[in-house]
Amino acid sequence: ENKRPFIFLKWAQTINGKMDKGTSDQKVTQISSVESKTLVHQWRKNHQAILVGKNTVKNDNPSLTVRAVTGKNPIRIVLDSSADLSIDFNVFNDEARTIVFNLVKQEIFHNIEYIRLSDLSPNSVLNKLAELDIISVLIEGGAQTLQSFIDADLWDEAAILNGQDSFENGTNAPIFNVKSNYSFEYFGDTVSMYSKNNKI
C-alpha cells in the first residue's frame, strides 16, 4: 500500500533516556534484561531485514543474527556513506547476507553487497529496499538512524525496552512523541509498543 517495506523500530533505553554509556569499546551496552534478548531475537526472526547505521557497527560490533530463538537470519543492512568499515566487524561474517548502502561504490564481495545511492535519506533507502523486494525491516540503531526515520515519518510499529538502570553519560534515545498502544512487563523490563495508527 505504501510502496515501501514495513518498518519496525526498536531500541532499549535507561530510566533517564540513554541508549548507551557513550563508549566505543565494541561491546553492546546491556540495558534491558538478559532474558529480553529472546524477545529481540524473535523480532529479528520476524523480519526479512535488519538495519543499523555505521556508528552502531563501530561502537557495538553486533552480529545482527538470530541466536536466542530458532529462525532464519535477516538480511543485514548497514548505512555507511564512505563504505570504509572493516570487513572484520561481525556484521560482515558469513552467517547472513549483508548489504552496505553507501555513496561511493557498487561491488559484490562474497556475502557482502555494496550498493551506491545518491543519498542515504530514509526515502532513498526504502525505495532501494523495495526494488530489492525486501518487504519488512527491523531498525535497531543507532539513535541518529532511528531519529531520521522518525522525523521522516517512515515507520509503522515501534518497541522501546525500558531498562531499570540510569547512566550518567551516554547517547540520548530518540525523541519519539507518540502515545503507546500498550505496555507489558518482560523479565523486569517495561516494553512499550507503538503503532503509527495511534500517533498523537
CB atoms within 10 A of CB 113: 16
pTM (predicted TM-score): 0.92
CA nearest 62: which of 47, 82, 78? 78
Average pLDDT over residues 171-177: 94
pLDDT confidence bin for 31, thresholds 50/70/90: confident
For 112-123, the pLDDT digits (tens) are 999 999 999 999
Indicate if the pLDDT at residue 93 is higher than 70: yes
Look at the block and give the residue holding cell 520476524: 46
Return the pLDDT at 145. 98
Q: Parallel, antiparallel, or unpaired for β 189-195 and 157-162?
A: antiparallel
Contact status, residue 58 vs residue 86, Cβ threshold 8 Å:
no
Return the pLDDT at 123. 97
Average pLDDT over residues 49-72: 95
Return the pLDDT at 200. 45
Indicate if the pLDDT at residue 189 is higher than 90: no
Strands (E), the chain: 6-13, 49-53, 75-79, 98-102, 107-109, 112-116, 136-141, 157-162, 182-186, 189-195
192 vs 169 pLDDT, higher one: 192
Average pLDDT over residues 30-40: 81
Beta bridge partners of 79: 53, 101
Contact status, residue 56 vs residue 78, Cβ threshold 8 Å:
no
pLDDT confidence bin for 125, thresholds 50/70/90: very high
